[in-house]
Amino acid sequence: MNKLHALALALCLQMSVASSSALADTIDHSQIRQLLSQAGLSTPITHIEPSDLTGFGQITLAGGSQLLISDDLGYLIQGTASANPSPITPIAAEVRRTLPIGTPVSTAHKQALLANMTAMRDINDGAAFFHTGIAGILWGISSLGDTTFLVSDDGRYLMDGMMASLKGGKFQEHTPIFEAAKNRHILSSLQPLMMAVYPAKTSERAVLYVVSDIHCPYCKILHDRIEELSLQGITIKVIGYPVYDESIEPMRQIWCKSDNAKRSALLSAAFKGIKLNNRAACQGADPLTDTARHILALDVTATPAVYRADGSLFTGDLQGEALYHFLGLR
């Protein structure tokens, strides 16, 4: 997760730990200590107290590190909660209704959150918010895509730590589970015109989504494997995402083509260095803008960004067998 430093510097957020959580009143502290010890926490707990963040308590460890723990003892968030300095208007419970993990908040919820985040830079209508699977906690990304953060569902508190689950009495990273669910929602809702699709040439066994730029060297390495991969039953769906200035115009011309076969052929030609001349047929159109807005919450930091259909991000070698293992085909 990207750090909240940019927001913190811009807003001078003040760290606060106070007393609205019911945890300290309803849960025996020894139960918390025993649970975390059994889950594998070796660092001694020095203090447990209520948190301003509704539904959470605050744990301080030896050395000063802090954790937020949900009142049901099911989840941890690294760090503490920072008060949002914006003027806050209460958001009705029906607007804050929890939705499945990885699902974007409703339009009404988003507008209410934005109204409570007026002091925050680049948190405007272009920003996005998703349900994390932890009651009361949302994941957000700024409109520029340069800052991600956690926020309470009423917009009152901000966090930037990793999420973990304590289900079954064991630590399990929750952030990757959330990320995959979020990515899966975004990828599955892409419109056909946002992609250049290379169908599997045999019975389809897997689908690979690739966020790509025609001047990205590693994107070319992967694109050169499309024929090989398609013969192995893998459908490749390329999402146009120019990160190099020189890619913007030719990729705009490629995605101006409404026919997938033509779009895919032009994309492959561009990866081979063939210059395009589709400018006249693409006057005034900017087909990549909607795509960039749609995939903002993928939080792409480099191309190619490669995903399975389940939303998992590939981090291995693009040239070897790792892709097949990633797809469960080897």
Strand partners, 211: 239, 305
Is the pLDDT confidence value at 210 over 50?
yes
CATH architecture assigned to 194-326? 3-Layer(aba) Sandwich (3.40)
More confident site: 13 or 154: 154
Tell me whether strands 75-78 and 66-70 are parallel, antiparallel or unpaired.
Answer: antiparallel
According to the model, what pLDDT value does residue 26 have? 56
What's the Cα-to-Cα distance from 195 to each of 52, 184, 189, 200, 230, rounded to whole Å?
44, 15, 12, 15, 16
Instruction: Check whether 216 has a pLDDT greater than 50.
Output: yes
- Residue 47 one-letter amino acid: H
With 50 as the cut, is the pLDDT of residue 178 above it? yes
The pTM score is 0.89
pLDDT of residue 276: 80
What pLDDT is recorded for position 169? Answer: 86
pLDDT the model gives residue 17: 33
- Quick: pLDDT tens for 259-283: 999 999 999 999 999 988 766 567 7
Measured from the Cβ of residue 246, the count of other Cβ atoms closer than 10 Å reads: 11
pLDDT at 13: 33
pLDDT at 20: 42
What is the 3-class SS of 246-292, one letter each residue?
HHHHHHHHHHCCCCHHHHHHHHHHHHCCCCCCCCHHHCCCCHHHHHH
pLDDT tens column, 29-50? 888 999 999 999 999 999 999 9
State the average pLDDT over residues 192-218. Answer: 97
| Residues 239-249, mean pLDDT to the nearest whole number | 95
**pLDDT, mean of residues 124-145:** 97
pLDDT at residue 280, rounded to an integer = 58
pLDDT at position 278 is: 65
Pairing of strands 206-212, 234-240: parallel
Q: Are strands 305-308 and 14-15 parallel, antiparallel or unpaired?
A: unpaired
Which of the four pLDDT bands, split at 50, 70 and 90, describes residue 168? confident
What pLDDT score was predicted for residue 286? Answer: 80
Q: pLDDT at position 282, please?
A: 73
pLDDT of residue 91: 98
Q: Which residue has the higher pLDDT, 62 or 28?
A: 62
CATH code 3.40.30.10 region(s) in the chain? 194-326
Confidence of residue 10 (pLDDT cuts 50, 70, 90): very low
pLDDT higher than threshold 50 for residue 189: yes
Question: Chain-wide mean pLDDT for the chain?
Answer: 90
